[in-house]
Structure 1
Amino acid sequence: MTLKEPYAGRSGGSLGLGDPGLDRLSLGVAARLSRYLQVLTQARKMGRETISSQELAGYTHVNSTQIRRDLSGFGKFGKRGVGYNVDALLTQIRRILRTSGQHNIALFGAGHLGRAIAGSDIFAEHGFRVVAVFDSDPGKLGEPIGSDGELHVRPYTGIAEVVEQEGVVVGVLAVPTAAAQEVAADLVEAGVKILFNYSEALLQVPPGVTVHTSSPAVDLLHALYFYLT
């Protein structure tokens, strides 16, 4: 299996990967590849050795023609009548998305959502590791958190030092909406360029900082629209 020359995104912005073997992906392609990766990860857990583009389409709600087009932009994958080798395709998509290494996360908020995130193994499956957890509630400081209780809740102080010492590249905000902008500003000031926002806040950040907001309300509205139409 060989990779072709990288291709530029079609539309909707682009995502720089910083890999000499890869150039840029459109945001749409990056989003779809992430969905393929999620399905492939589960398929491998189930012991699957191959998977067809039709199966990928069924799980990701992306049509099979689009899947083949996305993958063909990076090389020759799969065999007609057989499908894609799960392990091989996982390896290549991880390389394309740069998830083959480890990316450290600072998590803000040790409430129910924060604890669920810290204790989940989903992030680790894709190369992300929570290395620090912060909370403003004095009653939570020092409490063990994480799947093994290996981390302890920190106060909202020394953020820049922790970011530098732990090599934090992603900040996850599981805080109340009213607190999110201030936390985002502190993370940006500390040098973090990627923010994952679980609050409803409309974060204002300078150029060069990426924000992804995950809103259950918006997702439900999206699902409801397609159900009603």
Structure 2
Amino acid sequence: MTSELREAIRGVRDRVKLADRRVVNTTDRTNVFRQLTGADYISLGALFVGWASALLFVRGEPNWALLAMFGAFCLDKADGWYARRTGTSSPFGRQVDSFIDIFAYLVPAVLLYHFVLAPSVFASLIVGFLVLAFGGLRLVRHNNDGFGSDDGASYYHGTTVVHTNLVVVANYFVATFVGGWNGWLAGLLICAACPLMVSDYKAYKTDVSHALAGLAAVVAAGLALALEFGYL
């Protein structure tokens, strides 16, 4: 082996030495697991159930997928309640919550449209892109701006990903029970709802709004079970 070849091999070895690639100064890195709180672990539970929902949509089980998605919704609400109750809310936790909202609400919504409602791949491409794009931008803006305040009442800037998800779910049931309602009409309605997520609309965060969202989830879960077992 020539000296030039040995030098070349030594140079490659030095460049890929793992010890030199590790950040050792704790001020330059974030230990993710030490940042996680109980609320964040509940959020990760929502991610797990949301992923189960996605797999069920892919397997052609929309009603069971909806039930799993509503389970993710319950866990998503539980993490916020736990964070407020224990005083563990943090900017890091808000980032975790927004990341998981993508898989708890946006991904199941586009999969529901794609596998059940979409009349063509083109329609699914457009609707899925708009839901994910506007939903992602809405979550980024929320992380940057936080909640607005109006006479002591907190509000979201624009509609939330939960609202958009409910629009898709509502279209699923309307298409099931109302003759003449189809994937094209559903797609147009969903596309029209997407820009509202980055609008200046004030979606107030109140106990009533949470109760209504919970009631809608319960009703939708009941309809999904009734469809699954042939009662409707």
Query: Could you tell me the TM-score, scaled by structure 2's length?
Result: 0.25
Q: Which has the higher contact order (CA 8 A, sep 6+)?
A: 2
Answer 1 or 2: which has greater helix percent: 2
Answer 1 or 2: which has greater strand percent: 1
Query: Could you tell me the TM-score, scaled by structure 1's length?
Result: 0.26
